[in-house]
Amino acid sequence: MAETLQEFLSKLQKNPERYQSLIGSGDANALQYGFKGKRAVHPGMNSKPVAPSQTQGLWQKLMAGEASSGRKRMAYIHIPFCSHICLYCGFFQNHTNEARENEYVEHLLQEIAWAKHDNMVQAKPIQCVFFGGGTPSALSPENISRVLQKLRECLPLSNDCEITMEARVNDLDKERIEAWFNNGVNRVSLGVQSFDTKIRQACGRLDTQETVIDRLKLLTSYDQASVIVDIIFGLPGQTTESFIHDLEIIDSLPISGMDLYQLNLFGNSPMAKAIENGKLPKAATRAEQSLMFKAAEEWLQARAYKRLSNCHWSKDIWERSMYNILAKTGADVFPFGCGAGGFIGDYSVMQHRDLKKYNASIDAGEKPIMFMGGKSPFERIHNAISQNMEQGYFNLAALVKENNPDLKQMEALLDIWCQNGLMTKGEALYWQTQAGRFWQNNLTQTLIECAEMILAKQQVKPVHGEMGMPGISHAIKLDKEKQAIIEEMRKNGTMPEGMRQALAMMAEKEDRMSV
């Protein structure tokens, strides 16, 4: 008989370190010390990679098919250029220059044009378009106008389609702003990160607080879009007081909403190296970040800001954050551009991140696919859990009703979190406490892994690590077909680096991790 979740949790208590990495520390101060470290939400290794030799044929088959029933649809456009490297960022791909940009845009336009003839794309309206990067606002007014016009020509955009442009304050000039608004952009997301001049410039941002405010006023003076500001908390030199002052500045401007992101330092990032070398002061600890989170949440709630998701707050009715919210629901995402990722039906897609490989694929008349994989059989459950938890609650009754009665075993886990101050049990739902909201990624990942364990009837084995590392994974038992596909990707160099690293780390620790 398969081991129940309650039995697994009881057995796991014999190993306190592993128990705490999964369930939490049980510390009375759950906000600051609920877990030893943050985890990333990771769907596991249950997806099936598609052999590179089969990706083009499969893509064409998908595009000739019908739209997925009941799914919303989005498009993601990746602009892989930045004019400057920010110390905290891990997404840099290419420095921008005019010749490189012009060549890239020509290829991007061709890729978008193909979609005009794809039955899957044309079958139903697309609810939102998101320009990410890189720095999309780095494109010249002429080039971004051409891209936006091609999108409107080739994609079936809904009449209320949300079109988001990620932007850098330094790019906010009249020519670019008018190019965006004249061609349908109705939402601008700005990476301000901090208004404090000293903190901004130490992190690699260029403009002073005064310049940032002046350019935000210029952007909002057009009254053409919902304007969103991203702020990071926990930056080197930042205090709770300076962080709250950032919120006060946003509140004083005609801004529609804000995203508040916790700083996550990776060992090889420029910022981590600068701190290690004494060029920057230390960043806030997790415990200190939790107090910043608490102060911001209470400040915003006192002023009637509406929480749209764990990190996102709206100030007025214009901010919908459709792309970010729908991305958690299993919506179809059509990818365009170098480094773009998407989801179509039962498959995930990652396009070439190397600019030369991307351009060469377009020249050859091929979708520039770097990696393609079948979604995990647990995808529906992953989406349901993630969507719930992003909204601050967990509907166990619905998950059980819509999937499998065995999932009711998760009550054992939820009851522990209620005792530990991370959740509370309401009449119909489990609700995250303030501490639970701070540790939301940890809770979400554990719920996903425990749901998989229950449904797969397998033992789970934790793999420890701060951020980006699977916390529990099923033993690596790949069938011969999967092994052959992985071996093909290894030989021809098409295996994504993240997948290679994950497999290596999981294989390394598999034998020495046991209950």
pLDDT in tens, 304-341: 999 999 999 999 999 999 999 998 888 999 999 999 99
The whole-number pLDDT of residue 269 equals 80
Is the per-residue pLDDT at 83 higher than 50?
A: yes
Which residue in this structure is represented by tokens 């749901």?
Answer: 451
The whole-number pLDDT of residue 495 equals 47
Is the per-residue pLDDT at 168 higher than 80?
A: yes
Structure tokens at 125: 């309206």
Q: Are 241 and 203 in contact (CB under 8 A)?
A: no
Residue 459 dihedral angles phi and psi, to the nearest 5°: -70, 140
pLDDT top residue among 442 and 47: 442
Neighbours of 15 (CB within 10 A): 15
Coil, helix or strand at residue 185: coil
Which residues are CB-contacts of 512 (< 8 A; sequence separation ≥ 6)? none
- B/e letters for 325-364, b = 16+ CB within 10 Å, e = fewer, are bbbbebbbbbbbbbbbbbbbeebbbbbbbebeebbebbee
* Range of lowest pLDDT (147-156, 324-333, 398-407, 467-476): 467-476
pLDDT band at 69 (very low <50, low <70, confident <90, very high): confident
* Range of lowest pLDDT (197-201, 214-218, 253-257): 197-201
The whole-number pLDDT of residue 508 equals 33
Which residues are CB-contacts of 61 (< 8 A; sequence separation ≥ 6)? none
Mean pLDDT of 63-74: 90
> Using CA atoms in the order 138, 141, 147, 149, what is the torsion angle rounded to 10 degrees?
150
- Partner residues linked to 9 by β-bridges: none
- Partner residues linked to 131 by β-bridges: 77, 165
The whole-number pLDDT of residue 204 equals 80
Which residues are CB-contacts of 50 (< 8 A; sequence separation ≥ 6)? 58, 347, 372, 373, 374, 485
Handedness of CA 293, 131, 366, 104 (dihedral sign): negative
304, with CB counted inside 10 A (0-12, 13-18, 19+), is exposed
CA dist., res. 94 & res. 112, Å (int): 21
Q: Are 265 and 283 in contact (CB under 8 A)?
A: yes
Which residue in this structure is represented by tokens 């179509």?
Answer: 344
CA dist., res. 449 & res. 454, Å (int): 9
Mean pLDDT of 191-209: 91
pLDDT top residue among 205 and 142: 142
CA dist., res. 343 & res. 107, Å (int): 21
Q: Are 489 and 495 in contact (CB under 8 A)?
A: yes
Residue 131 dihedral angles phi and psi, to the nearest 5°: -95, 115
pLDDT digits (tens, 9 = 90+) for 336-369: 999 999 999 999 999 999 999 999 999 999 999 9
Of 44, 43, 52, nearest in space to 487 by CA: 52
> Using CA atoms in the order 380, 382, 385, 391, what is the torsion angle rounded to 10 degrees?
-100
Which pTM was predicted?
0.87
The whole-number pLDDT of residue 87 equals 56
Amino acid at 252: S
Mean pLDDT of 452-468: 54
Q: Are 77 and 131 in contact (CB under 8 A)?
A: yes
With a pLDDT cut of 90, the percent of the chain lying above it is: 74
pLDDT digits (tens, 9 = 90+) for 427-449: 999 999 999 999 999 999 999 99
Of 402, 408, 399, 476, nearest in space to 5 by CA: 408
> Using CA atoms in the order 59, 64, 69, 72, what is the torsion angle rounded to 10 degrees?
60
Which residue in this structure is represented by tokens 């952007």?
Answer: 219
pLDDT top residue among 138 and 269: 138
Whole-number average pLDDT of the chain: 87
CA dist., res. 385 & res. 379, Å (int): 10
Mean pLDDT of 379-387: 92
Handedness of CA 104, 76, 324, 217 (dihedral sign): positive
What are the percentages of helix, strand and coil residues in the chain, rounded to 5? 45, 20, 35
